[in-house]
Amino acid sequence: MSAVKERILGAITVMNDADASSIWDFIVNKFLGHSWDNIEEAKPDEWDLKMLQEIANDPECHEFVSSEEAMKELGL
């Protein structure tokens, strides 16, 4: 994950719900209609591999869902 993405995630975690909702509205308006198929595939880095290992070792983790299921869960 790039440094800018880490900063965005960090900022969102400390926002109040109203500010986070505003950011979500921006994301939906900016990117709605984009397809998961257009996302460039990249090899997992060290952080990704660690996260995948934790998922594999934690029975509480959920399996990944399809883009259609994710969009439905996100209300898009």
Residues 57-73: pLDDT tens digits? 887 776 677 777 777 77
State the pLDDT at residue 72.
78
Report the predicted TM-score, pTM, of the whole model to 2 decimal places: 0.42
Look at 47 and 63; give whichever has higher pLDDT.
47
- Please report where in the chains the tokens 């400390």 appear, as a residue: 14
Q: How many domains does the chain have?
A: 1
Return the ∠ at Cα 43 (arms to 38 and 48), rounded to 5°: 105
| Spatial distance between the Cα atoms of 26 and 11, rounded to a whole number of angstroms | 15
Quick one: average pLDDT of 29-37?
73
CA dihedral (61, 21, 41, 65) in degrees, to 10, reads 40
Mean pLDDT of the chain: 82
Residue 20 sits in which domain range? Answer: 3-73
Look at 21 and 60; give whichever has higher pLDDT.
21
Nearest to 54, CA basis, from 62, 69, 42: 62
